[in-house]
Amino acid sequence: VEKGVVRIELATAQWRFLPLADGSTEASFEIHMDPNGSIPSWLLNRLILNSPFSTFDNLAKQAAKEKYADAALPF
């Protein structure tokens, strides 16, 4: 690793989806990481705030691909 560079070696994350009585779904995202150094709070906050939204954007892009058009769900 270059001098002045911080490498995150440990990170775990999970999503929780809770069906609600009105038919909607509550989604929560939790992440734990050890940055092995100092990361500026402005950068960390930006990553934390943007991550859930970019994840769903990327999921929608993947789901729209032709290879998933006829996917069967096991439930």
Contact indicator for 34, 2 with CB cutoff of 8 Å:
no
> What's the predicted TM-score (pTM) here?
0.56
Q: What is the pLDDT of residues 12-60, one digit of tens each?
A: 989 899 999 999 999 888 888 887 777 888 888 888 888 888 988 998 8
Query: What is the end-to-end Cα distance of the chain in Å, rounded?
Result: 45
pLDDT of residue 62: 92
62 vs 7: which has the higher pLDDT: 62
Handedness of CA 51, 54, 56, 62 (dihedral sign): negative
pLDDT of residue 58: 93
Q: Where are the domains of the chain?
A: 6-46
User: In DSSP terms, which residues pair with 16 in a beta bridge?
Assistant: 28
pLDDT greater than 80 at residue 75? no
Spatial neighbors of 65 by CB under 8 A, at least 6 apart, are none
Contact indicator for 12, 32 with CB cutoff of 8 Å:
yes
